[in-house]
Amino acid sequence: MHILLNTLYLMTPRTLVRLDHETVKIEVEGELKMQIPLHHLGSIVCFGDVTLTTPLIMRCAEDKRLIVFHDQHGRFKARVEGPVSGNVFLRHAQHEALSDSKKTTAIARNIVAGKIRNTRQVVLRGAREADNEDDRKALQETARELAHGLDALSRSPDLEQIRGIEGNAARHYFATLDRMVRVNREAFKITHRNRRPPLDRMNALLSYIYALLLNDCLSAAEGVGLDPQIGYLHVLRSGRPALALDLMEEFRAILADRLALTLVNRRQIDERDFVERPGGAVHINDNARKEIAIAYQKRKQEEVLHPVLNRKVPLGLVPHIQARLLARVLRGDAEEYLPFMYR
């Protein structure tokens, strides 16, 4: 965990990025657009036709600075990693925990509790700010459902049951998510979560922000030496970053969903930012992607109180802190995993 890690998002086609001593220079068609001291950057995320020079790539790999490549639609393509290093004992403990159902169930349960709790904070805020009684009531009802979920969770000894409680809570939540949309409600209707491809604008918006968040959770896991594919709440599957997905659960509502709602409610995003493809898939256009990525970075700089550390930290650093806390639990250095509790 370094100072505050900033992510450089490169989205302009035909961008060339190179290392000049300790500075990163960004050029578009031969023209210098920006230069940033390397030590200000925590990771570099590229979309589409962007070129990084080899010295820059090697230096980032050496410093464990994450580089990710996406295609122009935001689909993940590649990640640059340096030599495997760090803590083999931690990774070993992470694998061993898979056969310790008591330990993994406890971790998964607390992750889901964190997720439901933080989701509930977002819903309660929505209820407080609701414009009409209908919306308020619907959101309060969702908050009650989420409270039941939390209660059931505290007594649930079984991983499948925990996953069921999570699914149930998510269903209730997405059924009333658009009650928190205050403008353009018709355009941003959502009844349930869908993806691959997203079938409405709100789902497209969420999918995109979740992809940004997932990258951050991946880099948090790798940053502390955890294997991002070995998770406990999420079932293992080839190519699936199960642990990064586990880590992400606590942050979906407070970081991603809340940001999506704000962007819509402040009219920073409207229906013109989306393209509907034949058959129903919905895409976000390039300009809006840029706008959203910038807003996401800003949101990560907002300070929040971390209950375990008992001090204020930028929201963007919290996934790193949580990855560290999880690593401590896996190594037997801390008793139980405490998810981030947003207030």
Partner 1 sequence: MESTILPGWDDRDIVMVSALEHYAYCPRQCALIHVEQTFTENMYTLKGRFVHNLVDVECGEMEGGVHIERALPIWSLRLGLIGKADVVEFHGNIPYPVEYKHGPKRKHQHDDLQVCAQAMCLEEMTGKQVPRGAIYHHSSHRRREVTFDSYLREQVEAAIIRIRMMQRSNILPPPAADERCRECSLQDSCLPQIKEKGRLRMLLCELFKPEGDT
324 interacts with partner 1 by CB under 8 A = yes
- Among residues 117, 234, 283, 289, which is the contact residue for partner 1, using CB under 8 A? 117
325 near partner 1, rule: CB under 8 A? yes
Candidates 43, 121, 219, 229; binder of partner 1 (CB under 8 A) is 121
Question: Does 42 interact with partner 1 (rule: CB under 8 A)?
Answer: no
Using rule CB under 8 A, residue 108 touches partner 1: no
Q: Which of 284, 313, 283, 292 is nearest to 301 (CA)?
A: 313
Which are the contacts of 212, defined by CB distance < 8 A and separation ≥ 6?
Answer: 45, 256, 292, 293, 296
Max Cα-Cα span within the chain: 62
Query: Cα–Cα distance between 284 and 42 in angstroms, integer?
Result: 26
* Closest to 178 (Cα-Cα) out of 139, 133, 137: 139
Q: List the one residue from 110, 142, 215, 229 that touches partner 1 (CB under 8 A).
A: 110
Question: Which of the residues 165 through 184 are near partner 1 (CB under 8 A)?
Answer: none
Q: Does 341 bind partner 1 (CB under 8 A)?
A: yes
Q: Which amino acid is at 124?
A: L
Any binding-site annotation on 166?
A: yes
Nearer to partner 1, 68 or 113 (CB): 113
Q: Find out whether the peptide bond into 197 is cis, omega within 30 degrees of 0.
A: yes
Does 95 bind partner 1 (CB under 8 A)? Our answer is no
> Cα(116)–Cα(146) distance, rounded to whole angstroms?
6
Smallest separation (angstroms) from partner 1 to the CB of 110: 7
| 308 is a contact residue toward partner 1 (CB under 8 A) | yes
The whole-angstrom separation of Cα 253 and Cα 299 is: 13
249 is in an annotated binding site: yes
Tell me how far apart the alpha carbons of residues 169 and 171 are, in angstroms, rounded to a whole number: 5
Note the residues at the interface with partner 1 (CB under 8 A). Answer: 1-3, 85-87, 89-90, 110, 113-114, 117, 120-121, 124, 127-128, 140, 143, 146-147, 150-151, 153-154, 224-225, 307-310, 320-321, 324-325, 328, 331-336, 338-339, 341
